[in-house]
Chains A and B, each alone.
Chain A
Amino acid sequence: MHGSSEAASAVLFGLNPMWVAALLFALTYVVVMTEKINRAIVSLLAAGLMIVLGILNQEAAIRGIDFNTIGLLIGMMVIVAITRQSGIFQFLAIWAAKKVDARPWGILVMISLVTAVTSAFLDNVTTVLLVVPVTLLITEELKVNPYPYLFAMIFSSNIGGTATLIGDPPNIMIGSATGLTFNDFAYNLSPVIIVIMAATLIPIYFIWGRHLKATPEDRQRVMQFDEYGAITDARLLKQCLLVIGLVVAGFVGARFLGLEAATVAMTGAALLLLLANWGRDAEHQSKHVLEAFNEVEWITIFFFVGLFIVVHGVDGTGLLKLLADKMLALTGGDLNATAMVILWSSAILSAIIDNIPFVATMIPLIKAMAPTFGGPEGLMPLWWSLSLGACLGGNGTLIGASANLVVAGFAERAGQPIRFVQYTLMAFPIMLMSIAISMVYLYWRYL
């Protein structure tokens, strides 16, 4: 569709555009993986080179950027930036701990659930950034090892994030590229996510949970925490809850209302900015709006922008179509086999490499398979395989997802470092278990 017609100058010093694009693309992957250069710089530079080398022109590059994904991410980041100031995350964690009488294993389960549910609606990094400090305080008061709690939080944030359209960047990208709605994700993914969450807690219980003990005095200290003291701004909290409620309702009714997810999120963000700044003078408004915008993770956003251009450039050369054909030849065009290859390969690759570029590449690749499987409708199981593989695979190693690294950072500073190898030895098998459960689910429901 968008092949040579979009190319600015198809000449490229006489080189084959497909191989130039492939080389640039591979180079982007490798340099991002080495983490020597900030990933936003790498992707923007690669995107610039794609245009300069004539693989695609600027107009085509801009068409390649999925502004629905970008808008949804920015909108939700602004909403989270304001909401976190209300203290709701700390409130939830303390409330959950007290609900189980501050029993160590009970707290682990409750904190995991709070993390999973919050990650399903807000971004994983923010969730762990706000829940980990309370958890560390609680474990310190209880004099129990924080390691199992942090381990469980990594898993629950990635598992919870898989359940919804807005929970994890791969889902946002898949939803945006395919038109699958919030409801589609909730309906198709949340059943298996609940099972996976429960199943993940079983090994954690047998490895650590059953050994966790705290004295009645230490538990009493946690029971004396006043969760309402964690709420720093009750008025702001009400505004946030109202807007989050409206945004979720907007996602649920998006198809009925004829709205895209980015519209819902950005309008929600604007509404919350309006409410939170109501009655402030111009100077204070500027200060607070700027603060909220500063919390947007611009590195991630620009990484996405560059990446979309790079992938679009590669896609335009027909390379991804070629890869899709190769993959179909490998699986014999069989839907079951293709779904399984996508599920397992995306899980294992996402444990090692950043799942965002991986999913960005897989989307056009899977789309190219539509004719083989009877049009876009036939691709459904493949999208769920990609989502489950890419999101859950992130649990496999410490570098599998950004939330993992944030938790590891806390652990390190708290003097309880999570070691890469030690983590992988426990986490990789548990991640594989979650993929096995996903496999059974996919077979049972779609294949």
Chain B
Amino acid sequence: MKAKLIMNPHPMTLRPTDTVATAADRILKHHLRHLPVVDEQGRYLGTFSVYSLLKLTLPKAVLDKYGLDNVSFVTESVEDLAQRLGKRRDEPVKNWINIHEVARPDTHAMEIMLLMLHGRTTSVPVVDKATNRFEGIISFWDVLEKLIGENK
């Protein structure tokens, strides 16, 4: 089975200029973990996720790849953290997206599952190789449904 048959072709997406506040609102309201960011030409730019929100809440110094691996000495309160997130609510989401491993419309089911396992992610965007057009998204639940459906 190939990606285009498993994916959800009309998921909720974001525009790169949407604000962090808009993204956070959608994530909370719909309990989503990943929102693909797609430009006006329909090209996939990356994914804004719950992890982007976590990053927005933390100081930049702890996010660096060689940054602090232990912050147990910092005694900030939830209010301090909320304040940091609050200050960044009007930033465009394009500054906070991650480029995920993507599947192609003809990628096979096993490779998609491996992408999820290795990437520790529950959803994989499906993107056309030649045009970078966003085609849809495959969530862990889509895969599971097909798997259990096949077994029935």
A residues contacting B by CB (< 8 A) are 87, 90, 94, 129, 133-134, 136-137, 139-141, 221, 224-230, 232, 409-410, 413-415
**Residue ID in chain B nearest A146 by CB atoms:** B61
A230 touches B62 (CB 8 A): no
A136 touches B70 (CB 8 A): no
Contact residues of B between 116 and 150, Cβ < 8 Å to A: none
**Residue ID in chain A nearest B84 by CB atoms:** A140
- Complex CA distance for A221 and B83, rounded to whole angstroms: 13
Contact residues of B between 91 and 133, Cβ < 8 Å to A: none
7 cross-chain CB contacts under 8 A: A94-B73, A133-B66, A137-B68, A140-B61, A229-B72, A232-B70, A414-B60
Interface size for B (C-beta < 8 A) is 17
B86 at the interface (CB under 8 A from A): no
B80 CB contacts on chain A under 8 angstroms: 221
A224 touches B75 (CB 8 A): yes
A121, chain B: closest CB distance, angstroms: 21
Q: A90-B73, A226-B73 are in contact. Are A137 and B61 (CB under 8 A)?
A: yes
B65 CB contacts on chain A under 8 angstroms: 413
Residue in A129, A139, A221, A232 whose beta carbon sits within 8 Å of that of B76 in the complex: A221
B76 CB contacts on chain A under 8 angstroms: 221
Counting chain A CB atoms within 10 Å of each CB, which of B60, B61, B67, B71 scores highest?
A: B61
B40 at the interface (CB under 8 A from A): no
**Residue ID in chain A nearest B65 by CB atoms:** A413
B59 at the interface (CB under 8 A from A): yes
**Residue ID in chain B nearest A138 by CB atoms:** B61
Known: A137-B61, A137-B62, A224-B75. 18 other contacts (CB 8 A): A133-B61, A133-B62, A133-B67, A134-B61, A136-B60, A136-B64, A137-B59, A137-B68, A140-B60, A226-B75, A229-B72, A229-B74, A232-B72, A413-B64, A413-B65, A414-B60, A414-B61, A415-B60
**Residue ID in chain A nearest B67 by CB atoms:** A133
A230 touches B59 (CB 8 A): no
**Residue ID in chain B nearest A228 by CB atoms:** B73
B84, chain A: closest CB distance, angstroms: 9
Residue in B59, B68, B75 whose beta carbon sits within 8 Å of that of A90 in the complex: B68
- Complex CA distance for A414 and B66, rounded to whole angstroms: 11
B71 CB contacts on chain A under 8 angstroms: 137
- B24-52, CB under 8 A of A: which get 1 and which 0? 00000000000000000000000000000
- Complex CA distance for A90 and B73, rounded to whole angstroms: 9
- Complex CA distance for A414 and B67, rounded to whole angstroms: 10
The majority secondary structure among interface residues of chain B is loop
- Complex CA distance for A41 and B94, rounded to whole angstroms: 40
**Residue ID in chain A nearest B80 by CB atoms:** A221
B75 touches A225 (CB 8 A): yes
**Residue ID in chain A nearest B76 by CB atoms:** A221
Q: A133-B67, A133-B68 are in contact. Are A225 and B73 (CB under 8 A)?
A: yes
Nearest 5 interchain pairs by C-beta: A229-B73, A136-B61, A137-B61, A229-B72, A230-B73
A236, chain B: closest CB distance, angstroms: 13
Residue in A225, A228, A230, A414 whose beta carbon sits within 8 Å of that of B64 in the complex: A414
- Complex CA distance for A410 and B74, rounded to whole angstroms: 20
A226 CB contacts on chain B under 8 angstroms: 72-73, 75
Q: A90-B73, A225-B74 are in contact. Are A141 and B59 (CB under 8 A)?
A: yes
B75 CB contacts on chain A under 8 angstroms: 224-226, 229
B129, chain A: closest CB distance, angstroms: 30
A230 CB contacts on chain B under 8 angstroms: 70, 72-73
A291, chain B: closest CB distance, angstroms: 14
A139 CB contacts on chain B under 8 angstroms: 61
- Complex CA distance for A414 and B68, rounded to whole angstroms: 13
- Complex CA distance for A221 and B75, rounded to whole angstroms: 8
A140 CB contacts on chain B under 8 angstroms: 59-61
- Complex CA distance for A207 and B72, rounded to whole angstroms: 34
- Complex CA distance for A286 and B68, rounded to whole angstroms: 26
A134 CB contacts on chain B under 8 angstroms: 61, 68
Counting chain A CB atoms within 10 Å of each CB, which of B71, B74, B76 scores highest?
A: B74
A136 CB contacts on chain B under 8 angstroms: 60-61, 64, 67
B96, chain A: closest CB distance, angstroms: 13
B61 CB contacts on chain A under 8 angstroms: 133-134, 136-137, 139-140, 414
- Complex CA distance for A272 and B71, rounded to whole angstroms: 26
**Residue ID in chain B nearest A415 by CB atoms:** B60
- Complex CA distance for A136 and B80, rounded to whole angstroms: 17
A57, chain B: closest CB distance, angstroms: 43
A94 CB contacts on chain B under 8 angstroms: 73
B20, chain A: closest CB distance, angstroms: 17
B62 CB contacts on chain A under 8 angstroms: 133, 137
- Complex CA distance for A94 and B61, rounded to whole angstroms: 14
B70 touches A90 (CB 8 A): yes
A240, chain B: closest CB distance, angstroms: 16
Residue in A137, A224, A410 whose beta carbon sits within 8 Å of that of B66 in the complex: A410
